[in-house]
Structure 1
């Protein structure tokens, strides 16, 4: 056995079943170990996509996602996806396959300092050295899985990968456990919730990583807390719940802000300010924060109390407290939901972006998964889409990089092959990652890829208009739109230029034996009113 074999055996012992990447000569020892060791290598079109796919794998499965790249430009490409896992806190093991040890640090083709590159965007960056490979890798896995979760980078020189080893596969990694919050801190939180007349909870990204997601709903229902969510926390409680208020700080954010400002207590449940800082929306409302680490707020935020410790433990103890009552009525909450959803869909004569999103939602079964990308459509989808279960709504919010949607959808389908999955992205994002259509084809996965084509980088166009700047450098296509090509890389491409046609096309694509690209030409002018209301 060589060290490459040991690495793969160790990853497999920790639940890793696949890795994403692009090969080079330096990567071949690790790829061969994957082939012989039973860990699938998935060829992507770009290393950034490999990182995003590993991110979604980690957040969905609870085991580390795995991505691989060569040195130099392979590593810099991979860094985009790894950075997403860092700010969105997904467990990932990222391995760069480097030159031989005696060549490191020299001015040799493609070499850069990988540790300097990955240090700001990982929990740690470690060297894999002869004699301590299993120990270092197990340490990396434990660190990736310890809260706050995140990526760990490992650098593997080719001579180390090929060297024979007598090391044995270590026992599976044991992530560190967070201490429970102090009893007094939780008791005070319970008092604040019990005495508030109009409390509102806001669920955040930490909730995605709960060991027992059902405790979140139990706590909300016990204390009759109306709840809003951040983008990342959508679906942690079914958004059809009568206490649900919708997503904050995306489309029609002012509608949400006005309602939040009617509260006399905001309860942050796993709220991570990387999604949107409190000071952007909370005003002078008192804040009770319950999370795994101290909250990051500006001095202007009225933070009256915080509970810091293991989030599952905190929720379980809040669930055990006497039930609280407040002055919210179901009629008030239902009226707000109607107001919010109506504002998201202003009158329009053309095939609007919001109508396309609704059509996709109707076609995808309730239990289906959505992965989407970054742009103006992100805001519209986050506010408009109804998510009904945990880990069915995938986006990068902390990192907010274009290019996430398609590799994220591929990873989601591989993680849950029995579930229907749809990818929804804008035309700008599709231009960046259309090569991953070929990845989906090679894998033979059923995946509708819906492209909202409005010919612009619409989010930046809206910002240009808001700032009274001329439209410059944001138009993707000037000529009159024509029908899509018959296929992309052998994947059929369809046009769907009405809501009914799109719903029908997505429904058919969900029954196909492989991926399908569906191009919907939409009118996105309403983004000016909904995305930045």
Structure 2
């Protein structure tokens, strides 16, 4: 290659990886990169905070399987990427983080703004490297994308000092190549099939790994062929259509829910794509149940998870081959699971038509489901409402319920929904945020308006950190210290060029949703909510629960 500026080579390497967007809050140390991007095919998208940039990039990775890319300056710009890096690290979302740095060959400002960014990010990234010569850029970029995207996906940081970005280099691009995963060995598939045939009450658990690897077709065929009932983790929602008669529910709580009666009764769990970063939906040490682990990587063993058989390899291929070895419907007693499904459905449907105002969780979840089509997307921030949506909202397709049950950070809901709306302009997309989480990145409303997105943002307004307040009450502490005042959300939305709405009666919620979606553009809905049902349904009723005999 002819000599070029190192930042130009960096951008060409990103283009070779198929990068479409870089989400950024640039600083002076990134100016060579900004200039190189100006004449590239990559679209630079400015956000209003580094967290917004990185949450959008991580969601790009989550939805596309290709690493999303974000960029910021050194020091405070880089440290604002720490939470999204941890979000991608625990959630297994492929993410490339680019940060600037002062010159490393000759100091011109002493230690101003300089911290060890590479060392800071090392524990929450798959790789964290400083680029010390322009000639190393092609190899480092290629390796960064390989690591970020391969199982288990995650974040990678590359620090580009400004003097390195400006130097000349003639290093050639290293093009990406297609990767294939190995297929599980016949012997282990035979052993797994024997365990399933021998089980009296098997269940399938679908986790986040199945959602990110497009295993829907293989899993749906496996379920339909074997007729084994299934349940899902929060991040496994939608891989198989949850309207199925074999769907038992979502493990939204760690233990004690109605669904857990079926999990406790099962003698075998076929655990497909589950990741131990999610709260464990079953506890092996308490009941000694057998587990078949089906995933791209071997199990991370801890006190509650130590599978007896591990089927390692390409997920869809493993499921297809296991289905073929079983040869159709598995012979077992399904009657108890059918009764549990009826019990779960009975409790999930309770309150769905309740007209109380402020709106109770069962009603706003039910109304959300009514206005969202099969392929439409909801993106949840973090709060008590996440449990209600996980339990009560049936997902019909993969990646149509975007939530974080790994880092479980507040502030990601709006940027995540923005990315979903960018990638899916023909679908309805709704961000669902508590008032606390929304305000952590609410400034990204301006970004959404500037990008011309079609997006509805529903803010669940209870003027408090509701999840912690609920936990405070449940732990027997006084109700103290967790309430705050909100802005006028309607005026707040309007000030950004969005359209604000306020729901004043429960029966107006669906018409408000429909009005916002029909109008297009960015809409914010201020929805007063009543969380008193948390105690009654999630604590008091479950404390009285007795599993069916």
Q: Normalising by structure 1, what TM-score?
A: 0.93
Q: Which residue in 2 is equivalent to 1:504?
A: 511
Provide the residue aligned with 2:58 in structure 1: 55
Superposed counterparts of 1:262-273, under 5 Å: 262-273=265-276
> Which position in structure 1 is the counterpart of 2:468?
460
Calculate the aligned-residue CA RMSD, in Å.
Answer: 2.5
Shift of 1:483: 6.8
Partner of 1:405: 413
Q: Which residue of 400, 424, 427 maps to 1:419?
A: 427
Give 2:459's aligned residue: 451
Structure 1 residues 353-502: aligned runs within 5 Å: 353-477=361-485, 485=492, 487-502=494-509
- Aligned CA distance change for structure 1 residues 26 and 347 (closer, same or farther; 3 Å): same
Contact preservation (8 Å) 1:147, 1:178:
no
Structure 1 residue runs of 5 or longer lacking an equivalent are none
Secondary structure of 1:181 counterpart: coil
1:6 to 6, 9, 14: 9
Q: Is the 8 A contact 2:296 2:312 kept in 1?
A: yes
Query: Does the CA contact (< 8 Å) of 1:100 and 1:160 recur in 2?
Result: yes
Decide whether the 8 Å contact of 2:356 with 2:506 is kept in 1. Answer: no
| Residues 421-464 of structure 1 deviation map (CA, whole Å, 9 limit, x = unaligned) | 11111110111111011110110101000001011211101111
Partner residue in 2 for 1:317: 321
SS of the equivalent of 2:311 reads: strand
Match of 1:275 among 274, 278, 292: 278
1:142–1:523 distance in 2 versus 1, CA, 3 Å:
same
* 1:230 correspondence with 2:200: no
Give the structure 2 partner of residue 120 of structure 1.
123
Kindly indicate whether residue 104 of structure 2 is the aligned counterpart of residue 101 of structure 1. yes
Provide, for residues 248-267 of structure 1, a one-character-per-residue CA deviation record: whole Å limited to 9, x for no partner. Answer: 03399521111211222121
- Decide whether the 8 Å contact of 1:99 with 1:157 is kept in 2: yes
Mean Cα displacement is larger for which, 340-349 or 209-218?
Answer: 340-349
Give the conservation status (yes or no) of the 8 Å contact 1:484–1:495: no
2:204 is the counterpart of 1:198: no
**Residue aligning to 1:326:** 332
Structure 2 stretches lacking a partner, 5+ long: 543-549
1:310 to 1:420, Cα distance in 2 relative to 1, 3 A:
same
Alignment partner of 2:184 out of 177, 181, 196: 181
SS in 2 for 1:101: coil
The number of residue pairs the alignment matches comes to 531
Give 1:197 shift.
2.3
Contact 1:368 1:421 in 2 (8 A): yes
Residue aligned with 2:135, SS: coil
Alpha-carbon distance, 1:484 to partner: 5.3
Superposed displacement of residue 93, structure 1: 0.9
Distance 1:299 1:164 in 2: 53
**Aligned position for 2:525:** 518
CA pair 297-166 structure 1, distance change in 2 beyond 3 A: closer
**Which string of whole-angstrom CA distances, capped at 9 and with x for unpartnered residues, describes residues 320-361 of structure 1?**
121223221585364144234136769784321321222222
Distance in structure 2 (CA, Å) of the matches to 1:288 and 1:403? 36
Distance 1:60 1:192, change over 3 A: same
Shift of 1:140: 1.0
Q: 1:42 to 1:301 in 2, by over 3 A?
A: closer
Report what 1:163 is aligned to: 167
Secondary structure of the 2:432 match is strand
Map of 2:309 onto structure 1: 305
Measure the CA separation in 2 of the matches of 1:434 and 1:511. Answer: 23
Cα distance in 1 for partners of 2:64, 2:286 equals: 37
1:456-480 deviation per Cα after TM superposition (whole angstroms, max 9, x unaligned)? 211101111111111222112399x
Query: Counterpart in 1 of 2:25?
Result: 22
1:152 aligns with 2:160: no
SS in 2 for 1:254: coil
Q: Distance in 2 between matches of 1:518 and 1:3?
A: 46
1:293 maps to what in 2?
A: 297
For residues 288 and 273 of structure 1, the distance between their equivalents in structure 2, rounded to whole angstroms, comes to 14
SS in 1 for 2:519: coil
TM-score, with length taken from structure 2: 0.91
1:64 CA displacement = 0.9
Deviation by residue 1:359-415 (Cα, 9 ceiling, x = unmatched): 222122221011110111111111111211112111121111101100000111112
CA contact (8 A) 2:21 2:69 kept: yes
Of the structure 1 ranges 126-135 and 102-111, higher mean CA displacement relative to structure 2 is found in 102-111
